[in-house]
Amino acid sequence: MTLDVQFKLKSNPLYIKYLHENSYWYKILNRDPSMFNEFVEEVKTNYKLRPSDKINKMLSTFEMVSAIVSSLNS
């Protein structure tokens, strides 16, 4: 694995955690460091870190709060 990829991995604890959970990525990144962007996208998808996931979480939180407020007003 190139040093550049190693530094990128160590800069984010989620990357290390995902590597431990999905060790096949070690082999992929060792053989083809250009796959790092695909690795990052997979991490974001699995840990729900994409902007759309954050918006969905915010909307569900807002719906829960509004349901609580409406039940208190009743």
Range of the domain at 64: 3-73
With a CB cutoff of 8 Å and minimum separation 6, the contacts of 18 are 25, 39, 42, 43, 46, 47
For the chain, how many structural domains are there in total?
1
pLDDT value at residue 44: 94
- Written as tens digits, the pLDDT of the chain (74 aa) is 899 999 999 999 999 999 999 999 999 999 999 999 999 999 999 998 887 778 888 888 888 898 888 888 86
pLDDT value at residue 56: 81
pLDDT value at residue 57: 84
- Tokens of residue 58, six digits: 């915010």
pLDDT value at residue 17: 96
pLDDT value at residue 20: 96
